[in-house]
Amino acid sequence: MGLEFLTRVRRASLLAGLVAALLVATASRPLHGLALFAGLAWCLVNLFLIEKLIVAATSPDRNTMPALVRAALAIGGMVALFTVGAVLLMRLSAIWLVIGFTFPFAVIVLKAVSLLILPSKFWRRVTGSRWRGAALVALLVGAAWLLISSAGGASQRAHGAHAARVAAAQQAGGHEAKAEAGEAEETGPQKFPNVITVLHRALPGAPWVQFLHHYEAIVFSLFIALMLSLLAFLATRNPQSIPGPLQNVVEWLVEKLYDFVVGILGPKYGPRYLPFLGTLFIYILAMNLFGLIPFMDSPTSSLNVTVALALVVFVYSQYIGFRELGVVGYFDHLMGNPRTFIGWVLVPLMLPIHVMGELAKPISLSCRLFGNIFGEDMLLVAFATLGVTTLSFAHLPFGIPWQVPFLFLALLTSTLQALVFTVLSTIYFLLMLPHDDHAPEAEAQHAHAH
């Protein structure tokens, strides 16, 4: 029972601390929110190690080697944790670290108070009537609103004084204003902050943060590729005749992609190009949906990523043309397969048109995917901003979540854009493949038309 209580305390502390860190990062500074969450994480890890040490020391097999090893690992972990704590105290605000450190203890106290209040006669009398319960909730909400409003007013006054100091320093011509501002100016439309941008605002001078911020889209795309590789490994490392949930989902997805690709390319070429096209669809879909996770970003909202994907498809389709048609057949395809005198006369016209069409394929693929995903992000940001401005009169650090209905629309459009990219890539492959297999069918259709 005690261990279950501590597990619930850790879970509640983590959720409450995460919300508090987001509010502090929004209302104050990102560095303060990071310090609060770091203090909370430090305390939770410390409590977890203490729990493991106590369990190993009080268990019936405490004199055995496994229990001694667990105790030694817990002690070593606490020593390393204290070293991390010393580094955090030197790098982050000590006040916000202490506030985060006290979060689990505050949760323990509140849970203890709730265990005393909930069985009491007073609580039964209050909750016995819906009107008394509603009045108590209204009283608590009003008190919280007054507290947050006063804190928000003080924060705005401090921010105004800070902005006045920065403006005065800029007018004096000093370069200290940029350092006091704490972050570089950013122009253009801004998306939701992700974990890398938060780190960049909190630690603007760290070289590794600058590196991550510069290659942000590449970092997220590589991370998604690593996760997909790990899922594929876990789903295929030990296949069962009666598949588990993960293997079942992966097999269903592969079967649907197989039917889709073979339905376009045919049974001869479909299985050959299924691994590339299926991986392309899953990878783009994962990148599109990854931005819907809080503090993450969709790499496909960057034109660099979509252009790279389109160039891969373009180069591979040209390679397929050379391999399947040969050099002569490839240029014959670009010339429009002239077989008559009129066809050869039109070669000077058809060749530039086909070349420009091939060069336009990566442009259309990349711009379509980028525009739709970036537009989704901007739509969500616009409605989230509208929700915050709706309650701006109350000086609250949150707003009405108007963007929530559009999250479901983003799920649909992200899937459709991955499907459109894959369908067009498959068609580009089909256009580069030999069409001899379709000749009898074309002749039959021609005879039927006559």
Residue 37 contacts residue 21 (beta carbons within 8 Å) = yes
Q: Is the pLDDT of residue 228 over 90?
A: yes
CA distance 142 to 322: 73
Residue 337: CB atoms within 10 A of its CB come to 11
CA distance 171 to 168: 5
Please write the tens of the pLDDT for every residue from 72-111: 888 888 888 888 888 888 878 788 888 888 878 888 788 7
Q: Is the pLDDT of residue 224 over 90?
A: yes
pLDDT at 258: 92
How is residue 145 written in tokens? 């609103």
Q: Is the pLDDT of residue 237 over 80?
A: yes
Please write the tens of the pLDDT for every residue from 283-300: 999 999 998 888 888 999
Q: Is the pLDDT of residue 443 over 70?
A: no
CA distance 310 to 425: 9
Residue 214: partners with Cβ closer than 8 Å, 6 or more residues away? none
pLDDT (average), residues 349-372: 85
Maximum Cα–Cα distance across the chain = 101
Q: Among 161-165, 301-305, 392-396, name the most confident range.
A: 301-305
pLDDT (average), residues 152-176: 55
Which amino acid is located at 192 in the chain? Answer: F
pTM of the model: 0.65
- Minimal CA–CA distance to 386: which of 371, 376, 399? 399
Question: Out of 124-128, 139-143, 169-173, 351-355, which region has the weakest mean confidence (pLDDT)?
Answer: 169-173
pLDDT (average), residues 359-379: 89
Look up tokens 């430090």; give the residue.
Answer: 42
Please write the tens of the pLDDT for every residue from 179-193: 444 444 444 557 777
User: From residue 446, how far is each of 127, 137, 226, 400, 436 by CA, in Å?
Assistant: 81, 78, 51, 62, 15
Question: Out of 200-204, 317-321, 345-349, which region has the weakest mean confidence (pLDDT)?
Answer: 345-349
pLDDT (average), residues 357-385: 88
pLDDT at 169: 57
CA distance 433 to 265: 9
> Residue 314: which pLDDT band, with cuts at 50, 70 and 90?
very high
pLDDT at 277: 94
pLDDT at 441: 40
Residue 383: partners with Cβ closer than 8 Å, 6 or more residues away? 402, 403, 406
pLDDT at 153: 52
pLDDT at 173: 53
pLDDT (average), residues 254-282: 91
User: From residue 374, how far is each of 185, 220, 301, 367, 378 by CA, in Å?
Assistant: 21, 15, 5, 10, 6
Question: Out of 182-196, 244-258, 377-391, which region has the weakest mean confidence (pLDDT)?
Answer: 182-196
pLDDT at 181: 42
Look up tokens 């990854």; give the residue.
Answer: 290
Residue 32 contacts residue 93 (beta carbons within 8 Å) = yes
Q: Is 411 exposed, middle or buried (0-12, 13-18, 19+ CB in 10 A)?
A: middle
The residue among 86 and 427 whose pLDDT is bigger is: 427
pLDDT (average), residues 132-139: 76
pLDDT (average), residues 337-350: 72
How is residue 129 written in tokens? 């009537």
**What phi and psi values does residue 302 have, to the nearest 5 degrees?**
-110, 130
To the nearest whole number, what is the mean pLDDT of the chain? Answer: 78
The residue among 52 and 430 whose pLDDT is bigger is: 430
The number of C-alpha atoms within 13 Å of 283 and in the hemisphere containing its C-beta is 19
> Residue 71: which pLDDT band, with cuts at 50, 70 and 90?
confident
Q: Is the pLDDT of residue 166 over 70?
A: no
pLDDT at 422: 94
